[in-house]
Structure 1
């Protein structure tokens, strides 16, 4: 038997949801490119399928978009995002509905101690979280917002999301009023049944960085912002035990649990808890040979934005909604 490397992160599958039934159950179109296709051919097939999808943003983007005025408090924005399950909300003028900015879960993580936006807490509110969360969301929102017009195509949306490194784009009308939103998840829903030509091995990210189980929430927030990741696999004794996301950290504040930890009002008290208190331990995983389409459908069914990829009980990669965009771009 080959000796297992000690520097690898392994996975206890008994704690994870078994997703092997997804593999091989979806009937392939015999005209699709097989999983043995080379990387320079498979994306062409995917791009062709994407181009066949009819409709511009006026047809495919979500019309029931929720916007918030810039005067909304940061806590108000967090509660809206938490209750609706949103990772982003456009900020628009209360009267005209014209786009002014956007707030994302990563902006919230940045604000909570992960990066430069935390200066609002430290400098202007002397570390007092209770005071800082009542500041207007305009203080931390993104102002240079990428957006689409209602006439933009799906291909236009994918290209812009990749170029601007964003997971969602507001859609505006001719008067710059927010009328819809298009996200990575919307793209996944549109394309899930058209991409059974290759395995996720060829598209997953293989440079997976894990963090120790005793990492604090504040430390995890800083890692997310510095690395540009909105999800972090958590390991204990070399074993993958769960994944924490930017939304998990945002929900910690939105649920009110963070305030139970505060004695003096300082935000460090709230976020000194170990990150394991927030992680989802029922991790949904995939094998490297799973079809892209099966992976997409699994992510949609389980309502997750990523799948850790496990091969012979070793964490060998992760595939995210963003990787599906890159597959066609």
Structure 2
């Protein structure tokens, strides 16, 4: 949905800002040596997982406590991978998409009852995986082609052996010197939202467009950035329940998205080298940086953008 008037207070709109520089298309050239090492060298091997019977709320609390965006779901005895639950599944469940039916239909809008359902009811089944003998280049290819932020690693029996993320890959690729700058790799056609937009609208926008984050803009000024993890943390910290009186999901998803925005906002500039930006994102443990020029938001650079650029994809 494209909305351009200042009178629009709610909902998302498409922001196309070219800035003052000429930003034509950039052809990425592969300038990184093939990484032949095993994927397990950069993966997290001691992986926390939950069984399919675990409640949604306890899985979300685990993700919130550990700072995870995703959690593999495995059989309790065999550790065979059965699925994965991600922050995207959570925002879908909270009103973004088809998984909201669990709340709306089965529990008549009662979020407190719905979060006690088993995690198997909203997990992503048959997720994309990597074999334990895969190369780093295999992970890069899958991340770029499938636009997936994290991949479980399984052995020949389907047992969970590890997990590798965009951030793990970026830590390897980002050490390769690149001549590219932020303006070469950023997304400049952005979907944005307003501070007073309801959380329910944001979850729908994120789910529909497969976004993990939305810049929050007020009168063309960047107010903050809201991520799927912020919304998941809202549920996992149990703050959501303190705002409830009836238990109905509309009580919390009807609140303005500015309710979720807290902490320091980090930004970057279009002329910065992507090596510098990669180091900053890794050190701050953040997945994206809004790009500011002349006090205006002109783009967004994400871990995915950087992985694609460094890999020559």
TM-score (norm 2): 0.89
Say what the alpha-carbon RMSD is for the aligned residues: 1.8
1:268 equivalent among 250, 254, 271: 250
Corresponding residue number in structure 2 for 1:58:
40
- Partner SS for 1:44: coil
Matches of residues 20-39 of structure 1 in structure 2 within 5 Å? Answer: 39=26
Corresponding residue number in structure 1 for 2:181:
199
Cα distance, 1:227 vs structure 2: 1.5
Corresponding residue number in structure 2 for 1:93:
75
**Segments of 4+ moved more than 3 angstroms:** 6-10
Unmatched 5+ stretches in structure 1: 1-5, 11-37
Matches of residues 110-189 of structure 1 in structure 2 within 5 Å? Answer: 110-189=92-171
Q: Does 1:232 align with 2:218?
A: no
Distance 1:288 1:99, change over 3 A: same
Contact 2:129 / 2:154 at 8 angstroms: preserved in 1?
A: yes
1:243 equivalent among 215, 225, 230: 225
Contact 2:16 / 2:189 at 8 angstroms: preserved in 1?
A: no
Rounded Cα–Cα distance in structure 2 between residues aligned with 1:299 and 1:267: 34
Rounded Cα–Cα distance in structure 1 between residues aligned with 2:266 and 2:218: 18
- Partner SS for 1:212: coil
> Which is further off, 275-284 or 93-102?
275-284
Contact 1:243 / 1:281 at 8 angstroms: preserved in 2?
A: no
Rounded Cα–Cα distance in structure 1 between residues aligned with 2:183 and 2:219: 26
Aligned residues: 292
Corresponding residue number in structure 1 for 2:272:
290
Unmatched 5+ stretches in structure 2: 1-5, 7-13, 18-24
Contact 1:9 / 1:240 at 8 angstroms: preserved in 2?
A: no
Deviations along 1:14-59, one digit per CA (max 9) or x if unpaired, are xxxxxxxxxxxxxxxxxxxxxxxx944x5321xx23x1x4521122
Structure with higher Rg: it is 1
Rounded Cα–Cα distance in structure 2 between residues aligned with 1:179 and 1:242: 37
Deviations along 1:257-315, one digit per CA (max 9) or x if unpaired, are 11112111111112221111111452111111111100100101111100111112111
TM-score (norm 1): 0.85
